[in-house]
Amino acid sequence: MAYQTEFADIAYPDESGRPCALLFRLAFTTVGVRLAIVHLRHTNAEFQGPTSSCIIRDRILNRILDDQLRGVLLSSMRLVVKDGDDTAMFQIDVDYNDCIERKNPHESTSVTTGRGLITQRVTIRSESVLAGLTRVHTSHGHPLPVPREISRALR
């Protein structure tokens, strides 16, 4: 059986700084590779929610990763948002600038472009990106269907 925490409240500011709240919990899959799922449940339509705003989604996700899952591989994380009757998964991406600024492990090499300009190529290994040690964002991702394995873990 998959592991689940109970739902807990989390308060957050909306894009204009007004207070809002929603429910969240953590769940782990047990089939194949163990994944940690951050499950957000937006229940109050008066509050701006994580489905409609990547700013809110990112604020909440970064807080949870920092407080609850610090040190867990980011590659084993998934974000699922339930808003009303709709449930979607969002891709979690690393904020590469923050990763480098916080001196997380990375390799940097100079590359000469076709016009003679020198740029930096940065390589970050996924096994060195840990939750809570660098910021993440979900702004480039579109809502995705929730895979069956993850849906089962959230039942």
Question: Over the stretch 104-119, which tens digit does the pLDDT of each residue have?
Answer: 777 778 888 877 788 8
Q: Tell me the DSSP string of the chain.
A: --EEPPPEEEEEE-TTS-EEEEEEEEEE--SSS--EEEEEEE--TTS--TTT-HHHHHHHHHHHHHHHSTTSBGGGEEEEEEETTEEEEE--EE-HHHHHHTT-S-EEEEEE-TTS-EEEEEE--GGG-BTTSS-EE-TTPPPBPPPHHHHHHT-
**Taking the complete model, does pTM exceed 0.75, yes or no?**
yes
Per-residue pLDDT of the chain (155 residues; tens, 9 = 90+): 579 999 999 999 999 999 999 999 999 998 888 999 999 999 999 999 999 999 999 999 999 999 999 999 999 999 999 999 999 999 999 888 878 787 777 777 888 887 778 887 877 777 778 899 889 999 887 899 999 999 999 98
Residue extents of the structural domains in the chain: 3-94+130-153
Q: What count of residues does the chain have?
A: 155
pLDDT at 122 (0 to 100): 76
pLDDT at 1 (0 to 100): 54
pLDDT digits (tens, 9 = 90+) for 124-147: 777 778 899 889 999 887 899 999
> Angle at Cα 55 formed by Cα 51 and Cα 61, nearest 5°?
75
**Rounded to 5 degrees, what are φ and ψ at 55?**
-65, -50
**Rounded to 5 degrees, what are φ and ψ at 137?**
-145, 160
Nearest-angstrom CA–CA distance, 135 and 16: 21
